[in-house]
Structure 1
Amino acid sequence: MAVANETIIKKMINELNKARDAEDHVMKNHIANVQLLCDLLLEGDNTQADKTNITKEEMKAMIGENSNSKVEPVQHSTIKHDDANGDSLFDF
C-alpha cells in the first residue's frame, strides 16, 4: 500500500514542529524521524536505484583482477606434547 507524498510531508512538518519545541535529546529523535520520512520519499526515486546497481567494472575494482583464483588452505603445524590428547585446546 503506497502512502501519498502529501501525507509524508505533513508527518515531516509535524515532527519538525515537535523538534522545535523539544529539548536536545528528544529533538534528535524527532529529527531522526524526519530523516526516515525523507528516505521514504526518496525510496521511489531513480537516483536511489542508480546507487545500488553495481557495474562489472566496479565489482572488478572492489574484488580485484584475480577474483577467480582459489585461496590455498593454511597448513598448521602441530606440536606434540606428552600431556596433550589432540589438536584442540579443549583436548586434555
Structure 2
Amino acid sequence: MAIANETIIQKMIQELQQAKQQQSQTEIVKHMEHVRLLCDLFLAESDSSSEVSKEEISPEEMKAMLGETRKQQSFQKTSRLEENDANGKSIFDF
C-alpha cells in the first residue's frame, strides 16, 4: 500500500514544527531524524514510480533511442568502390 506524497509532506511539516518548539538539542535531533526517515520514504516512492515509466517504453522506441535503427541504415547505404585499385571494403585491403 503506497502512502500519498501529501501525507508524507504533512508529517515532515509536523516534525519540523515540533523540532522548532524544542529547547534541548537531543530532542531537536530526534525530530530531524524523523524528517530524514520521511525524506527517505518519499524518495523511495519517487524511485519506484520512475521505474514504472521505464517499462512503458516500447522495444521500437528503445532501439531508436539506442541508435540501432540508424546503424542498420548506415550499413545498407555503404557501397563498394568499383575502381581498379580498390580490392575490398577495408582501407587495409591491397
TM-score for both structures, normalised by structure 2: 0.47
Greater Cα radius of gyration, structure 1 or 2: 2
- Per the normalisation by structure 1, the TM-score is 0.48
Bigger proportion of residues as helix: 2
